[in-house]
Amino acid sequence: MTRTVRVEGRGFAGYDVVIGDGLIAHAGRRVAELGFHSVFVVADATVDALHGNRLRAGLTAADVRHAGIRVPPGEASKSFDGLRTVLSALADAGVDRKGAVIALGGGVTGDLAGLAAALWMRGVALIQLPTTLLAQVDSSVGGKTAIDLPQGKNLVGAFHQPRLVLADMDALATLPPRQLRSGWAEALKHGLICDPAYFDSLTGPDAAGAGGDRAALARVVARSVEIKADVVGQDEKEAGARALLNLGHTFGHAVEAELGFDDAVMTHGEAVALGCCLAFRFSAAEGLCDDAEARRVDAAFAAAGLPTRLPEGLSAGALLRRMAGDKKAEAGRLTLILARGVGRAFVAKDVDPEPVARLLRTEGAA
């Protein structure tokens, strides 16, 4: 049983996000149906060991020629060194403009492979096979690709929409619980942006998905993709409404950068969870929403086993400098995604940094 969500927009060719079981094994057939007879697979090394043989067998059965490269798991692969390695491998494999790049892995692999596809020969086709919940509900859809710099996350990138996304529920069965929780953070974020009923469902019956329930996870992936598809269809390149999808990210990215992008310390999903909590606490402190709403958000993330408080040892000044360098900042002035309540997020520009610093110090930053 599969479900398909269509992503359409004025500035790009539409594509399907297919959600179901066994999709990695049958990806070859779908790739061939799109007209690709040669692909290059960029795979997370850990994921490749789990699922790579099924993908390659399906490609072979569909008469799709394939080569590929394994990349180390973790945020460190999203670097110039990682990008150079993938581009060199594409050159060695002789991938031409009629070929396609397949990203097999989580958000790191999707971002890295996507940017390589955007750059190689000025752009070749990209097919996303996301294997983490976070990538399935969020990063594989919408065409954002990027690598990190020491100064900040996702600062070097391009918009490059995929031709197809296959979200295989079987892959989620091999995820560690921490990675499921990280993806759950992004799903909760989608509810916080524009769908309070969805947010409530993630703390109700469908909260079973956070523990790995297959049917609940499929419903969550489908609804999150619907939300993201609607926003991306309106605003592909983040000129307006798409910025809302960054709820929690300005705070979260700053924390990630200060922690050295170390997944062992804090995953991206955990940083988003913390960032959403901080965004709602700041909104409440500024009188934009009730304190009860901020507490409600804290409780939802805490119940999912996600962090809601700043780690020890961080500096408010350092975090603010990171936030000022965020992609949404303008002339060094902060742009934050804030909220008037659950499901009522909005873009706040030219935010005064002093109240933000005050909140960070209240939260334990030095």
Catalytic residue among 78, 181, 242, 296, which?
A: 242
Asked about 246 being catalytic, the answer comes back as yes
**Under DSSP, is residue 342 helix (H, G, I), strand (E, B) or coil?**
coil
Asked about 75 being catalytic, the answer comes back as no
Catalytic residue among 56, 70, 186, 190, which?
A: 186
**Under DSSP, is residue 331 helix (H, G, I), strand (E, B) or coil?**
coil
89 C-beta neighbours (distance < 10 Å), count: 18
Catalytic residue among 163, 181, 228, 322, which?
A: 228
Catalytic residue among 66, 70, 78, 144, which?
A: 144
Asked about 214 being catalytic, the answer comes back as no
DSSP per-residue letters across 176-219: -HHHHHHHHHHHHHHHHHH-HHHHHHHTTGGGGGGGT-HHHHHH
Asked about 37 being catalytic, the answer comes back as no
The answer to whether the beta carbons of residues 152 and 120 sit under 8 Å apart is no
What does the radius of gyration of the chain's CA atoms come to, in whole angstroms?
A: 20
Asked about 189 being catalytic, the answer comes back as no
Place of tokens 């079981």: 21
Q: Do the strands 125-130 and 100-105 form a parallel or antiparallel pair, or are they unpaired?
A: parallel
As a whole number of angstroms, the distance between CA 303 and CA 102 comes to 35
Asked about 237 being catalytic, the answer comes back as no
DSSP per-residue letters across 149-182: ETTEEEEEEEE---SEEEEEHHHHTTS-HHHHHH
Catalytic residue among 226, 246, 270, 363, which?
A: 246
The answer to whether the beta carbons of residues 165 and 140 sit under 8 Å apart is yes
Q: End-to-end CA distance of the chain: give it in Å, rounded.
A: 52
The answer to whether the beta carbons of residues 250 and 327 sit under 8 Å apart is no
Catalytic residue among 219, 249, 281, 296, which?
A: 249
Catalytic residue among 51, 163, 268, 296, which?
A: 268
Helix axes of 353-362 and 268-285: crossing angle, nearest 10 degrees? 110
Taking 3-state DSSP, the helix, strand and coil percentages for the chain, each rounded to the nearest 5, stand at 50, 20, 30
Asked about 144 being catalytic, the answer comes back as yes
Asked about 186 being catalytic, the answer comes back as yes
Provide the token pair at 182. Answer: 């990280």
Query: Could you list the active site residues?
Result: 122, 144, 186, 228, 238, 242, 246, 249, 253, 268
